[in-house]
Amino acid sequence: MNLLSNEDRTSLVRLRDELSKRYDEYCSMNLSLDMTRGKPSAEQLDIANDIYGLVNASDTFSEDRFDCRNYGVPTGLPECKRMFSMITGFDPSLIVIGNNSSLSMMYDTLMRSMVFGEIESDRPWSVENVRKWICPVPGYDRHFAITQNLGFEMIPVPMKKDGPDMDIVEKLLASDPTIKGMWCVPLYSNPDGYIYSETVCIRIASMKAAAKDFRVFWDNSYAVHNLYPDHRQSIPNILSLCREYGYPNRVYAFSSTSKITFAGSGIACLASNEQNITRVSKQLSLRTIGPDKLNQLRHVRYIPNLDALHAIMDQHANILRPKFEAVDSILSEELSGLGIANWHKPLGGYFFSLFLPTGTAKAVVETAKKAGVLLTPAGATFPYGIDPNDSNIRIAPSFPPLTDIVTATKVLCVCAKLIAVEQLLV
């Protein structure tokens, strides 16, 4: 195919008619496909079928003989910290264990900043008249919802293939003391699937911030979520970099087993340097007499070592890979060379991010919906739900069966082309 923009009006009209016909055919199929949900499929959840029986009446004791049924151990079992050390690369002593949701650990960490401030703060963040937050875009809607709810003015910064545009980030941070923090999904970024380069990580760890209590929320949700076991990707140890470059308190890192075992019943963790962790631990021991240690026990028995972890994640990869490759190959087949779309084929994570011509994403999502294909609302990947270019669409291929993904992606492509042609014809 040629670039659509090079086609003459007659060709475009013909193309529109062909696409309309295809679109109508899809409409007549009474489809009801949902591509919005970034959650594992039942088949993936079945991988952990052996986990249930790993804790039972005959052994509820941790390795140091603590009865996990009872109160206690507010920051989590040592063996569970070691498990997360294996997943994240952070020292076990710098890790505290939560319950089932890393998102709630991020929310709680921000609530504590609001009420108590950070170590270097002059006052709680809640009493700052203006507070801002850097949001690499496109990004994760649930991150943005939290900072919006807490009254942060969100500043979008474009994602590049190697991470956020650090020239912009550094410039913003150096001059604006009201910028208190920044969201990061460093490995398989949501939704692009980009991986932060070592250079970007070093720049994050070493950049000057006008706010002395600036914090990076480092959401490493996809730490071991590779689609290609022969090409596992990783990122530098950000806590070590921060220490090395003189900002030891800068980063709160988060991870979880939500997409290793069960999305709803996994274990989450928070990691930071010793000073932050000591402070957090004090608050945690006021908040609770301890997280659910039986579930920790289930997890450490289910994932006793790196071989077990890889065996689990390889099974996930085997289920997810065909779905991701189907999306990529349909996008290539339908959209390549037309000059109306670009995307990055991720090596892991849970999403694709598709960029279409400016001003068409909403119309494409709307048009697909009329054909029975539900896509994540255009704009969802931007702060306040507003994509200034109206061009980005998040594709979530994990949950539906492969056949649905194939059909839904084709519908999406037909809609994308149709809207692009109509835009050219106006």
Cis peptide before 124 (omega within 30 of 0): no
Using the contact rule CB under 8 A, the part of the chain among 146-154, 189-197, 213-221, 364-372 near a second copy is 146-154
Which residue from 12, 27, 31, 145 is in contact with a second copy, where contact means CB under 8 A? 145
For residue 316, CA distances in Å to 36, 177, 312, 319, 421 come to: 19, 43, 7, 5, 38
Return the ∠ at Cα 32 (arms to 416 and 368), rounded to 5°: 15
Which residue from 6, 10, 49, 129 is in contact with a second copy, where contact means CB under 8 A? 49
Contacts with a second copy by CB under 8 A: the residue count is 56
When asked if residue 72 is in the footprint of a second copy (CB under 8 A), the reply is yes
Closest listed residue to residue 14, CA positions, set 339, 362, 329, 424: 424
Closest listed residue to residue 113, CA positions, set 156, 146, 64: 146
Which residue from 1, 119, 127, 174 is in contact with a second copy, where contact means CB under 8 A? 127
When asked if residue 126 is in the footprint of a second copy (CB under 8 A), the reply is yes
Least distance to a second copy from the beta carbon of 298, Å? 10
Tokens of 306: 């790196």
When asked if residue 288 is in the footprint of a second copy (CB under 8 A), the reply is yes
Which residue from 18, 22, 39, 202 is in contact with a second copy, where contact means CB under 8 A? 39
Per-residue binder mask for a second copy (CB under 8 A), 230-269, x = binder: ----------------------------x---xxxx----
Nearer residue to a second copy within complex by CB, 66 or 245: 66
When asked if residue 424 is in the footprint of a second copy (CB under 8 A), the reply is no
User: In angstroms, rounded to a whole number, what is the distance separating the alpha carbons of residues 347 and 222?
Assistant: 11
Nearer residue to a second copy within complex by CB, 110 or 242: 110
When asked if residue 104 is in the footprint of a second copy (CB under 8 A), the reply is yes
Cis peptide before 248 (omega within 30 of 0): no
When asked if residue 111 is in the footprint of a second copy (CB under 8 A), the reply is yes
When asked if residue 179 is in the footprint of a second copy (CB under 8 A), the reply is no
Which residue from 149, 199, 329, 389 is in contact with a second copy, where contact means CB under 8 A? 149
Number of Cβ within a 10 Å radius of residue 56: 9
Torsion of CA 294, 269, 160, 236, to 10 degrees: -110
Closest listed residue to residue 303, CA positions, set 69, 64, 87, 99: 87
User: In angstroms, rounded to a whole number, what is the distance separating the alpha carbons of residues 145 and 36?
Assistant: 17
User: In angstroms, rounded to a whole number, what is the distance separating the alpha carbons of residues 398 and 25?
Assistant: 26
For a second copy, the binding residues (CB under 8 A) are 37, 39-40, 42, 45-46, 48-49, 52-53, 55-57, 60, 67-73, 99-101, 103-104, 107-108, 111-112, 114-115, 124, 126-127, 142, 145-146, 149-150, 258, 262-265, 283, 286-295
